Amino acid sequence: MTDHALQRDERERYLAPALLATSSPTAMTQTDGTPHPRRPTDPPGEHYRRHVPEIDKTLSLRLIDVEEDGERFHRWQNDPRVAAFWEYPFDRVTLDDMIRDRLADAHCTPLIGCFDDQPFAYLECYWVAEDRLAPYCEHGPFDQGIHVLVGEAVHLGKANTLAWLNGLSHYLFLREPRCQTLFGEPNANNRAILRYTYPLNAWRKRYEFDFPHKRSMLLSCSRQDFFGGDS
């Protein structure tokens, strides 16, 4: 089976049917004067599901829902461990509005990560071309980035982190076959993330740079490195 055929098979196995529409010809639009491809509408509910034999858990990703997830999102953001990096220790009303803003933002896909259907993380995916990261990296029109919040401490640790990071990367490459590179821009002080990305091999630190609000490190993962061959 060729690499393209293998990835088509994986799309059918792991993605929700609503995400399986064939990629359409590129239609362009603009956001704040920045031209970029028109982005698909994110369907509600589950997007991805895959059993991870290394930890004997099933990872699933679903679109966040204010009514279902608002309380836990508020609790996670007000955990001092999380707030030290996210800096959103806000009240419930403010954070509910933030979720609604993310859901209404065409360049953002806000997800809840679950192990065995138990929510443990907020995983925010975005299209780099129209994001604040765009000026700081060389990116293609379909490349994607991630922001990550692991809210349930019981799911921290190397094995769990490798499982969800690998699964999230897999989901993003499958949902957009034209995506060639994934990016992350964690705080430069968050050295722990490097212990988890390096064992994956495909994820690498590129360099450090200054956002207006923080010092960041640029991490990236190429399709070719992730799938281990030509894409």
Active-site residue set: 185
d(CA 70, CA 93): 9
Angle between helix 92-104 and 66-77 (nearest 10)? 120
d(CA 59, CA 48): 8
Angle between helix 158-175 and 3-14 (nearest 10)? 110
HEC secondary structure over 54-101: CCCEEEEEEECCHHHHHHHHHHHHCCHHHHHHHCCCCCHHHHHHHHHH
Per-residue exposure over 138-169, b if at least 16 CB sit within 10 Å of its own CB, e if not? ebebbbbbbbbbbbbeebeeeebbbbbbbbbb
C-alpha R_g of the chain: 17
Instruction: Look at phi and psi of residue 116 and say left if phi exceeds 0, alpha if psi is from -120 to 50, else beta.
Output: left
- Under DSSP, the state recorded for 157 is S
